[in-house]
Amino acid sequence: MRYYMFNKPRGCVTARRDERHRTVMDYFPECDRDVLFPVGRLDRDTVGMMILTNDGQSAHDLLSPKHHVTKKYRFECDEPLPLGTEERFADSITLADGYECKPAGLICDPDRLGGIITLTEGKYHQIKRMIAASGSHVTYLERISFADIPLDSSLARGEWRYLTAEEEKHLLSKTNAN
């Protein structure tokens, strides 16, 4: 089995093929594209860490809500987040459509125009919707870790590398494959 860390650039989509946009698969050797599974999705304008693998079962397990795999994001927003937003996220914020998010970690920057969010779920545009429910709008979003494995700072946008043996072992410890 192979496990890759990929630093997703802005503008590409998390899909195998797309008629209008470059996909994450376009960054990998052609011989690997038909066997790789992205472990989760990032919006077209979201950058940062993705895991891809040819191990479909592990990909499925890592995305399963029962495993509570953490995903950490750096964000910036256009209006300062109100005091108390950290507690609202920790208690479970309700989105405009009525969806109640699982508790999330939030550490705001001193100016409250950005910070770090830690999730264990990944609903459609969830962070953008959580920030909107707090009175602001996301202007920048980057996943900085997945399953407590940080994005390799030496990877430029659009570059990938194999997970180290230690990272792979840690990743698989989060699934039924351990």
Active centre residues (catalytic): 43
Encoded tokens for 55 = 């191990």
For residue 123, what are the contacts with CB-CB under 8 A and spacing of at least 6? 99, 101, 129
Which residues pair with residue 145 across a beta bridge? 72, 150
For residue 143, what are the contacts with CB-CB under 8 A and spacing of at least 6? 8, 42, 46, 47, 48, 49, 50, 71, 72, 73, 151
Encoded tokens for 16 = 């195998």
Pairing outcome for strands 138-146 and 71-77: antiparallel
- Residue 78 near residue 32, CB atoms below 8 Å: no
- The total number of residues written for the chain in this structure: 178
Q: Tell me the C-alpha distance between 153 and 164, whole Å.
A: 14
